[in-house]
Amino acid sequence: MKAVVLDKITEGKDIVLSDVPIPEVRPGWVLIKVKAFGLNHSEKLLRLGEIRADYIQKPIIPGIECVGEIVDPSDSELAVGQKVIALMGGMGRSFHGSYAEYALLPRRSVFTVDSSLSWEALGAVPETYFTAWGSLFECLHLTSDDTLLIRGATCALGYASIQIAKALGCKVIATTHREDKLPLIAEADEAIMDDGRLAGKVHGVTKALDLIGPRNLKNTLTAVEKGGIVCQTGLLGGVYALNGFDPIKDIPNGVYLTGFFSNYPTQQVMDEIFAFLHEKKLIPVSGEVFGFDEIREAVIAQDEGKVNGKIVVTL
Ligand SMILES: NC(=O)c1ccc[n+]([C@@H]2O[C@H](COP(=O)([O-])OP(=O)(O)OC[C@H]3O[C@@H](n4cnc5c(N)ncnc54)[C@H](OP(=O)(O)O)[C@@H]3O)[C@@H](O)[C@H]2O)c1
């Protein structure tokens, strides 16, 4: 089969498709014919640095998510031809991932999908919609009464979160750090420029989804009302941890801080996401779709930040 195989730091321009054997099925693992996969910021982090870490299996086929069909269910109850979605749990890091024609994945990371959406549309869902859903509902307990601030909204996760929150009926305030990108978040009720300080620019925020991360987190905590919740999910600001964080002084009285980590998807949550998409007649949003033979162009587009939204690759 064709696959992208990495063993060292690799820029987009150096991505090639290699011929590798189709993986052999073993108990507890199922073989999937990959129909589409999305590109993720975390794969860029892997390619451009994390690949040096000891805990990364090398060589590694990257890709933390995919959609496809079961071709060999092994000892699982899944049927041949079953439409599935798969993500995380070590995919593309501790075992081979989805930048390939076939993926051998642990049964626990594979979820059935009952949807008539195209492969292209489904390909935008796994990591992005699972993370948006978990952040908004498991962490922020979002309801239609909320005013939701999405900080760093011009990313795949931001666009998906705007779509879900608007469909729920919330008021949405979305931010970008680039003035020319304000039109991209116009689906929000308010689209505002973010220079790192939101004081006086936002009002009545009851929930905040922070996709910039520790670089701005203290400021985000001051932007929500008493009783509000901040969910730290993204790291777009390039700062990954907060030294000197003083919870007593940095978290305002009566404000709550939580974080979301997408490593633990479940069938129940996947079913909830697809039921919501179906009920609200939402088509998952992608920025650009590439063929598998264009994987190099897709990754270059990711490195250069050329695509606004989820990059989906179809096979
Ligand atoms: N917690 C979790 O489990 C989890 C799961 C999935 C993703 N994430 C994180 O969520 C974030 C978004 O992921 P994604 O896959 O949706 O990303 P993505 O679509 O690849 O987004 C990348 C884009 O974000 C934009 N961006 C917006 N505000 C930015 C800022 N302040 N600084 C730098 N770039 C900014 C950049 O475009 P412009 O600069 O042109 O606006 C960049 O092109 C990432 O940090 C990712 O690691 C976390």
Q: Give the pLDDT band of residue 306 (cuts 50, 70, 90).
A: confident
The whole-angstrom distance between residue 12's C-alpha and the CA centroid of its chain comes to 20
Residue 204 burial (CB count, 10 A)? 12
Decide: helix, strand or coil at residue 97: coil
**What length does the chain have?**
315
Strands 18-19 and 29-38: unpaired
Distance, CA of 276 to CA of 136 (rounded, Å): 13
Closest CA to 136 of 167, 181, 91: 167
Tell me what pLDDT residue 91 has: 96
Ligand 1 centroid to 305 CA: how many Å? 10
- From residue 16, alpha-carbon distances to 157, 170, 222 in Å are 27, 44, 46
pLDDT score for 200: 85
Q: At 134, is the pLDDT very low, low, confident or very high (cuts 50, 70, 90)?
A: very high
Region of 12 on the Ramachandran plot (φ > 0 left; ψ -120 to 50 alpha; else beta): alpha
Tokens linked to 224: 């929500």
What residues flank ligand 1, with Cβ below 6 Å? 40-42, 127-128, 131, 152, 154-157, 176-178, 181, 211-212, 233-237, 260-262, 305
**Residue 202 is which amino acid?**
V
Instruction: Calculate what percentage of the chain has a pLDDT beyond 90.
Output: 97
- What per-residue confidence (pLDDT) applies to 104? 98
> How many A from CA of 204 to the centre of ligand 1?
25
Distance between Cα 1 and ligand 1 center (Å): 31
The counts of H helices and E strands in the chain are 8, 15
CB 194 within 8 A of CB 219: no
Distance 213 CA to ligand 1 centre (A): 10
To test ligand 1's pocket by mutation, which of 39, 65, 236 has the most ligand atoms within 8 angstroms of CB?
Answer: 236
Cα(14)–Cα(300) distance, integer angstroms: 9
For helices 126-133 and 156-168, the axis angle rounded to 10 degrees is: 50
Q: Each residue of 54-102: pLDDT tens digit?
A: 999 999 999 999 999 999 999 999 999 999 999 999 999 999 999 999 9
pLDDT in tens, 151-179: 999 999 999 999 999 999 999 999 999 99
| pLDDT for the residue numbered 285 | 87
Q: What is the pLDDT of residues 227-270, one digit of tens each?
A: 999 999 999 998 999 989 999 999 999 999 999 999 999 999 99
Angle, helices 267-279/126-133, rounded to nearest 10 degrees: 90
pLDDT value for 107: 97
Q: Is 242 helix (H, G, I), strand (E, B) or coil?
A: coil
Domains of the chain: 2-124+286-314 (3.90.180.10), 131-259 (3.90.180.10)
The helix/strand/coil state of 234 is coil
Q: Using CA positions, which residue lies closest to atom 21 of ligand 1?
A: 155
Amino acid at 175: T
Classify 214 in phi/psi space as left (phi over 0), alpha (psi -120 to 50) or beta. Answer: alpha
DSSP assigned state of 273: H
Q: Tokens for 113?
A: 């999908």
CA of 260 to the centre of ligand 1 (A): 14
E strands in 159-261: 171-176, 190-193, 207-210, 229-232, 256-259
Torsion of CA 307, 291, 96, 109, to 10 degrees: 80
Which atom belonging to ligand 1 lies closest to the Cα atom of 152?
28
Share of the chain above pLDDT 70, in %: 100
Digit-coded pLDDT (tens) for 99-122: 999 999 999 999 999 999 999 999
Give the number of the atom of ligand 1 that is nearest the alpha carbon of residue 135. 1
| Distance between Cα 72 and ligand 1 center (Å) | 35
Residue appearing with tokens 């949807």: 115
pLDDT of residue 199 exceeding 90, the answer is: no
pLDDT at 41 over 90: no
Kindly give the pairing relationship between strand 29-38 and strand 311-314: antiparallel
Q: Tell me what the pLDDT averaged over the chain comes to.
A: 96
